Amino acid sequence: MIFNTLGVSPALRERLIAIRRDLHQHPELAFAETRTRDVLERELLRLSPVRIDRVATTGLIARIAGKDPHAPVVALRGDIDALPIREATGLPFASHIDGAMHACGHDVHAAWTLGAATLLREQPAEGDVLIVMQPGEEIGEGARAVLQSGLLDDVQAIFGAHVDRRFVVGQVVAQAGPLAASTDVFDIVLIGKGAHGARPHESADPVVCMASVISALQTIVARRVNPAAPAVVTVGMITAGSAPNIIPEQVELRGTLRATDEVTRALLQDELRQICTHIAAAHRVTARVTFSGGVPPVVNGVHAAAWAAEAAAHVLGADAVVRLGYTNMAGEDFAFYQERIPGCFLRVGARNADEEVIAAHSPRFDVAEDAIAVGAAVLAECARRASSSLNAGAR
């Protein structure tokens, strides 16, 4: 097995797989990861002496000592929460919890982050490394909660990674620039005047207005956004009406906006508001528009991405580092760390060559478990390289 060359002993590899399977069997949703937290805390305590702080309700930060207590501090982040999905993999270690599943690989992320901590205990970085076990990624709130602890205030570089079944085990994406999109939720309420369905002239019909609004929203990406910048406007929910012969008082539309830079992100919001306000006025309807729950785009820094690419090449060979191709338009709350700390988010191949690509968030999602050792070794090496470079710069 080529992965025995990663500095990950067979014993550690087996232990990380066992922990991953245990977490997989007992998935916990955002901010309810108490058992998960306890398992990870117990495992991190085996690396003693290690300082562990509980943060963000169900999260942990462990401090792995470096060689030089005055050297810059870097952080590795693994997310630990599951999704409200009923598992359909048929795996022997499938979820024991009905309606909850690790369908995004965060069980693997927890395991490889623990593995990185173990490797950094064996072969320390220059400075201390904070191991962040983060809850609540799937609802986009965990990273902010961790940052509020203040424990990352002196961190000078941060790394995290996601399993990716579009790539085979041994391939790693570590590149500068945008990697994932912003995710803003919009909520549009169109308030008109209800009437009998047979007397539309007595109404201000929000349903007809809604139809125009939905069509016009499609012109934002087609006619307002620079075609070179990726963007998405999707209406995913419509709530309207109570009977076939009643024109309702109001309707509601909800959806998501995606962009990979802040200029496009602001433009999407502004254009959406303009379209709603003016089309509503043309229909004698009032539009109320609100935005919520957004994470910023993940944009990898040049230095952090270079350290990550060097780390992956060092661990796996130069051929292992591959380009993402198209930017991923899903969101990732790692972006909140990157607003404050230079960092790189990696994607780690998680499919065996003979397997099909199964999308994350599918009830059939699974991960090739050799990815765990790869993630552990690459993340540990990211920390060492960033730490050495920052320390050299600080002198």
Which parts of 308-337 interact with Ni ion (CB under 5 A)? none
Q: Identify which range of 63-71, 103-111, 279-287, 343-351 contacts Ni ion by CB under 5 A.
A: 103-111
Give least dist CB 310 to Ni ion, A: 25
> Of 66-74, 101-109, 225-233, 246-254, which part binds Ni ion (CB under 5 A)?
101-109
Q: Are 220 and 173 in contact (CB under 8 A)?
A: no
Residue nearer to Ni ion on the CB measure, 17 or 82: 82
Helix (H) or strand (E) holding 321, with range, is: none
d(CA 109, CA 372): 8
Closest separation between CB of residue 274 and Ni ion, Å?
33
Looking at beta carbons only, is 275 or 329 nearer to Ni ion? Answer: 329
For Ni ion, give the closer residue by CB, 251 or 298. 298
Stretch that binds Ni ion, among 47-55, 99-107, 143-151, 226-234 (CB under 5 A): 99-107
Alpha carbon distance 313, 206 (integer Å): 57
Closer CB to Ni ion, 130 or 348, in the complex: 348
Instruction: Judge whether 376 and 115 are in contact, CB under 8 Å.
Output: yes
Which residue lies nearer to Ni ion by CB, 29 or 104?
A: 104
The minimum distance between CB 379 and Ni ion, in angstroms, equals 16
Is the CB of 347 or the CB of 384 nearer to Ni ion? 347
The residue assigned the tokens 């109320």 is 288
The four Cα atoms 67, 53, 161, 345 give a dihedral, to 10 degrees, of -80
CA-CA distance, 181 to 40, in Å (whole number)? 29
Q: How many residues does the structure list for the chain?
A: 395
Other CB atoms within a 10 A radius of the CB of residue 34 amount to 12
Q: Is 116 in the site for Ni ion (CB under 5 A)?
A: no
Query: How many angstroms separate the CA atoms of 320 and 377, rounded?
Result: 13
Nearer to Ni ion, 225 or 368 (CB): 368
Per CB under 5 A, which of residues 213..232 are in contact with Ni ion? Answer: none
Residue number, 141 or 310, with CB nearest to Ni ion: 141
CB of 328 to Ni ion, least distance (A): 11
Q: Which stretch binds Ni ion (CB under 5 A): 67-75, 98-106, 211-219, 335-343?
A: 98-106
As a whole number of angstroms, the distance between CA 142 and CA 339 comes to: 15
CB neighbours of 242 closer than 8 A, spacing ≥ 6? Answer: 248
82 binds Ni ion (CB under 5 A): no
Nearer to Ni ion, 43 or 332 (CB): 332
What are the DSSP calls for 75-88, one per residue? EEEEE---BS----
Please state the closest distance from residue 392 (CB atom) to Ni ion, in A. 34
Torsion angle of alpha carbons 366, 371, 373, 377, nearest 10°? Answer: -140
CA 157, 299, 349, 18 torsion: positive or negative? positive
Q: Does 104 bind Ni ion (CB under 5 A)?
A: yes
Q: Which of 119, 125, 128 is nearest to 51 (CA)?
A: 128
- CB-based contacts of 318, cutoff 8 Å, min separation 6: none
Residue at shortest CB range from Ni ion = 104
Report, in Å, the least distance between residue 331 CB and Ni ion.
9
Q: How far is the CB of 105 from Ni ion (least distance, A)?
A: 6
Query: Total binding residues for Ni ion by CB under 5 A?
Result: 1
CB of 179 to Ni ion, least distance (A): 13
Least distance in Å: CB of 137 to Ni ion? 6
**Amino acid letter for position 111:** A
Q: Are strands 73-79 and 129-134 parallel, antiparallel or unpaired?
A: parallel
Q: How far is the CB of 106 from Ni ion (least distance, A)?
A: 6
> Site residues (CB under 5 A) for Ni ion?
104
